[in-house]
Amino acid sequence: MRLTKSFKLSLNILLHSRLRSWLTIIGIIIGIAAVVAIISISEGAQQQLNSNLGNLGADTLTITQGASRAMGPGDFGRGTEESSSTTSKNLTSKDILMLKNLPNVEYVMGQISGREDLTYMTKTATLEIVGVDTNVWKEITTEQLASGRFLTNGDTYSVVLGGSIVSSTFKDGIPLNSQIVINGKSFKVVGILKEGRSVYMSIDTAKTVLEISEDKFDSISVKLNDISLSNDTITAITNRLMLSHGIIDSNKKDFTVSSPTSMQETIQQTMSTMTLFLGAIAAISLLVGAVGIANTMFTSVLEKTKEIGIMKAIGAKDKDIMIIFLLNAALIGLIGGIGGTILGFFASEAISSLGGISTTTSGAGRGFLGGFGSSSYVSPELIIGALVFSILVGMIAGAIPARKASRLNPVDALRYE
């Protein structure tokens, strides 16, 4: 029998099957939707991550305080936690001086941060205050201005606000050039960034506002001339800082040099672990769906026993029957796959829009963590893959019932009522 005819017959069976087939299809829809949603969210996050890391500037290294560990998978979060709790030597202006004359280093900038209340008109919010070197900040930052200007040399009581502060924290907005109050001091808003929830000001002012007197930085950013030499530069920076901090054993470093590439790798590792975990859950739901198909097919074969007998009596070969039922199972899989892909697409859109609202990370972390779940991406490969996979699931689940159908003895099948 020709394949198109077998297909027509199997479609006929499906169209005339009862509610049961459609319930089975729902099972597959859920399984495929879960897989599609998980993969598309993870792919979207990956893309966002890559573009964010691009924004951050792959040519900028970040040095943070704290026990330096090799940044292995999953260590990213822990590394930063430890850094804040360390009481060993801080990053100081001496360190900055030492790094400035290293080869391949274009700019070096120390940065401090803390939290303080910001008051505008009658409303007050606690926000992250970031103190930056006004000379080099605009060279090193990847933030983009929505309006106004970056901080420049001599900006003492001027601030640049992150975009989210103006758009969501203070819902009525803070206009450019208006006055705000932080810790009793009045500042002029000279610039507003496109994104972010931090308040940027000169590092000296920030120290006053945050009441920090000692010479220390939370992090030092180093912009490189030539990114291809970044590994050499990381080694040079490490050696120089170890020297400055009087450390001989490289395992006892009290700082961490991280490049966007190493962060990217770490985050990607973490994300793929998560994707794998979620994928395993989705796979289980697909497995349940496949068992559902097998179950439906067995019932369908039983229900169609008489018709199988008739078809055999009028000349159907075992192979013909086998193909008809296999195609029937594949069709259930395919319809489930189409439905699942559509549902998965909308589910991932919904999840990522939720994710987008709730991301409120700051500083360097904003780009990465905000990226997770803030967009999803359904690639053509994913769609094709999901459909092929669902067809396969259907055919595998339908194989045994189809075989059973094809092997029915025509006499017994004809007698079946």
In eight-state DSSP terms, residue 227 is G
Size of the site for other proteins (CB under 8 A): 24
Q: 319 CB contacts (<8 Å, ≥6 apart)?
A: 406
Stretch that binds other proteins, among 103-111, 203-211, 261-269, 406-414 (CB under 8 A): 406-414
Q: Which is nearer to other proteins, 307 or 349 (CB)?
A: 307
Q: How far apart are CA 96 and CA 100, in angstroms?
A: 6
Residues in Cβ contact with 328 at an 8 Å cutoff, skipping those fewer than 6 apart: 10, 13, 14, 297, 300, 398, 402
Site for other proteins, residues 318 to 347, rule: CB under 8 A: 318-320
Q: Is there binding between residue 316 and other proteins (CB under 8 A)?
A: yes
Q: Which is nearer to other proteins, 139 or 318 (CB)?
A: 318
Q: Is the CB of 253 or the CB of 312 nearer to other proteins?
A: 312
Query: Quick one: 318 or 381, whose CB is closer to other proteins?
Result: 318
Signed CA dihedral, 90, 91, 97, 99: sign only: positive
**Which one among 281, 313, 350, 388 touches other proteins, defined by CB under 8 A?**
313
* Sole window of 91-99, 109-117, 284-292, 304-312 interacting with other proteins (rule: CB under 8 A): 304-312
Q: Should residue 314 be labelled a site residue for other proteins when binding is judged by CB under 8 A? A: yes
Q: Point out which span in 48-56, 79-87, 287-295, 306-314 binds other proteins (CB under 8 A).
A: 306-314
Please identify which residue in the block is written with the tokens 């697909």: 286
- Identify how many contiguous H helices and E strands the chain contains and give both numbers: 14, 10
Please check whether residue 272 is in contact with residue 377, taking contact to mean a CB–CB distance below 8 angstroms. Answer: no
Instruction: Give the one residue of 176, 307, 349, 416 binding other proteins; rule: CB under 8 A.
Output: 307
Closer residue to other proteins in complex, CB, 16/171: 16
Pairing of strands 198-202, 145-148: unpaired
Q: Pick the closest to residue 220 from 109, 125, 124 (CA basis).
A: 109
CB of 395 to other proteins, least distance (A): 22
- Nearest partner of 365 among 241, 270, 226, 280, judged by Cα: 270
Write the DSSP assignment of 257-304 as a string of letters: EE-HHHHHHHHHHHHHHHHHHHHHHHHHHHHHHHHHHHHHHHHHHHHT
Using the contact rule CB under 8 A, the part of the chain among 211-219, 237-245, 314-322, 374-382 near other proteins is 314-322
Site membership for other proteins, residue 311 (CB under 8 A): yes
From the list 47, 116, 414, 416, which residue makes contact with other proteins (rule: CB under 8 A)?
Answer: 414
| Smallest separation, CB 314 to other proteins (Å) | 4
Which positions from 241 through 270 interact with other proteins, judged by CB under 8 A? none
Q: Which residues bind other proteins (CB under 8 A)?
A: 1-2, 5, 12-13, 15-16, 306-307, 310-320, 409-411, 414
